[in-house]
Chains A and B, each alone.
Chain A
Amino acid sequence: SQQGEEDPQALSIQEGENATMNCSYKTSINNLQWYRQNSGRGLVHLILIRSNEREKHSGRLRVTLDTSKKSSSLLITASRAADTASYFCAANSGGSNYKLTFGKGTLLTVNP
Chain B
Amino acid sequence: SQTIHQWPATLVQPVGSPLSLECTVEGTSNPNLYWYRQAAGRGLQLLFYSVGIGQISSEVPQNLSASRPQDRQFILSSKKLLLSDSGFYLCAWSWGGGETQYFGPGTRLLVL
Contacts and interface: CB of A to CB of B under 8 A. Distances in A.
Contact of B102 (A45, A96, A103, A104): A45
Contacts of A48: 99-100
A100 B43 contact: no
B51 A99 contact: no
Interface in A39-69: 40-45, 48
Interface string B17-37: 000000000000000101010
B101 interface: yes
Contacts, number: 60
Interface of B: 32, 34, 36, 41-46, 49, 51, 57, 59, 88, 90, 92, 94, 97-106, 108
Contact of B105 (A4, A42, A88, A99): A42
A33 B99 contact: yes
Interface of A: 2, 4, 30-31, 33, 35, 40-45, 48, 88, 92, 96-105
Contacts of A99: 34, 46, 49, 59
30 contacts: A2-B43, A35-B103, A41-B106, A42-B90, A42-B92, A42-B103, A42-B105, A43-B44, A43-B101, A43-B103, A44-B103, A45-B102, A48-B100, A88-B44, A92-B99, A96-B51, A96-B97, A97-B32, A97-B51, A98-B32, A98-B98, A98-B99, A98-B101, A99-B46, A99-B49, A99-B59, A100-B46, A101-B46, A102-B44, A105-B42
A24 to B, nearest CB: 13
A40 B103 contact: no
Nearest to A31: B99
